[in-house]
Structure 1
Amino acid sequence: MANQHTDCRHYLSLLDLSRDEARALIARATELKRMQAAGQVFRPFVGRTLAMIFEKASTRTRVSFEAGMVQLGGHALFLSPRDTQLGRGEPIADSARVISRMVDAVMIRTFKQETVEVFAAHSRVPVINGLTDRCHPCQILADLQTFHEHRGDIQGKRVAWIGDGNNMCNSFLEAAQLFDFELRVACPEGFEPDADLLAACGGRCTILRDPREAAAGAHLIATDVWASMGQEEELERRRTAFAAYQVTDAIMDQASPDALFMHCLPAHRGEEVAASVIDGPRSVVWDEAENRLHIQKALLEFLIPH
């Protein structure tokens, strides 16, 4: 089952990077962003192809990877379950063996973390996790880039996650480990993040029930929808459970005076976040969304030999 091409790097979770590599990617993303704004043409991937496999729908992931690959001079193939044998029961390993012989990298957005891991184990080319139920490693890099652009180094800072202990929360746990910041997670009982990731975080992460306590003195407050894709049938139960966990101006006022607000989007104003917060001066969600493009270009450049 092991990948015969041992020199092939994959990005399946944030912890596939060292701290130095992650910092270098953020710096490179900011440089690529500057180059793009200046109209500087940079096309190292002429004749290269990225296969994008979507088992979960997407706006930002598809647009950012597709636009990014085109800007780098390459091409991106959009593959939905309707378009491939993956959706008809072909073993993941077989799909990986075939697709990776025809393209230069693969991005997968799916449900199970196991899917991207099995695919990577049988792939000849780099595999990128575009989101799973366990983690969202591309989004967390964009978040870290955005914080760095606005406030500098996140090391030693306090971050508050308010809401569901979901894949984004898990990625913040990995980020706390890698970048050495304090993470406070405010969530209802029964909605905690992954226990193994929590244990690996050591003393850097605290689980709280009171969102105000979590927000106190925070330099960054982040949240996400209360019901992720595939959880729609739980929405009413979740609305009840999370009723006290909306990020409001009162919550933001508990934080550091220069605190930022982040949300990976799409957002439901009036549920997990008040409109006055997400559309207000402390919100950096649009920079955060744009940075998906730049950090993923840096990631593609890092992973694909050229």
Structure 2
Amino acid sequence: MKPGNHTFSVSEFLLLGLSEHQGKQPLLFSIFLSMYLVTVVGNVVIVMVIASDPHLHTSMYFFLANFSLTDLCLSSTTVPKMLVNIQAQRHTITYTGCLSQIYFFLWFIGLDVFLLAVMAYDQLLAICHPLHYTLVMSPRCSILLVIMSLILAHSYSLTHTILLAQLSFCTDNIIHHFFCELLPMLKLSCSNTYANQCVLIYWGGTLTILIPLLIIISYVRIVAAIVRIPSAIGKWKAFSTCGSHLSAVCLFYVSAIGVYFISSTTDSASKDRIAAVMYAVVTPMLNPFIYSLRNKDIKSALGRFLSRRALQPP
């Protein structure tokens, strides 16, 4: 993918990373390698447990498996490149590589958001309309919801990437970040970014206002339905079912809002990078623990999965 007809355009960018101090690079490499390995193992285990246990072959855990795969891909879009740059002590990325990283990063971020909304809708049906749940949330409907989420997320990332490819980057090629992120790239451009800003506002409003609003409305109805449950055991079971998803929603949006609202009001590049670490690295690492520690079905299935592995002959 090449930029438009511009007289000058950079062919590569320099990623400054999380810290410019050479003495901190080995520590950063160790920390992020450990976090990435935990992310990979945690999300892969969640997917394998759900796939191998017939008790978890429901729409709720089908969405969770897709969510874990998305988190794994999201982390893999940024962290391996950062680790390679630290190890090789060469912090450059090509123009094409930068656009590709932005495309896949936005795709998986968008997919995370849409899957969180789908999971909230699934919880709403399961708790508020239990008699119609199996009829409405059929396997075919579950697959269609995931496909629709993929298409919407693809539209989100492709629109931003195409518009970004039309911009020119004349002389300044230094990105004060550890990966190619959309907002720092727009600040580097020496051409008019009005169209990019309009699309950013439109999609930003959809992903950070409309989707969270729909999730909040779903949980208001869920809480109202749980309160009407007569037995304390039934209330606790309902709360435990949706508690892990609500925790994941809060963790994702608190960190994302920190990037696109709080950090955008300041000129501190370090705050942008710290906030990005939260939603691009830390959140995908913590989600498997949130779902495994707060969900009885996952914990039971994980125990059965580990027992089967232990009993298998070497």
Provide TM-score, normalisation by structure 2. 0.25
Specify the structure having the higher radius of gyration (Cα): 2
Structure ranking higher on relative contact order (CA contacts 8 Å, 6+ apart)? 2
* Structure with the higher fraction of residues in helix conformation: 2
TM-score (norm 1): 0.26
- Which structure's residues are more often strand, by fraction? 1
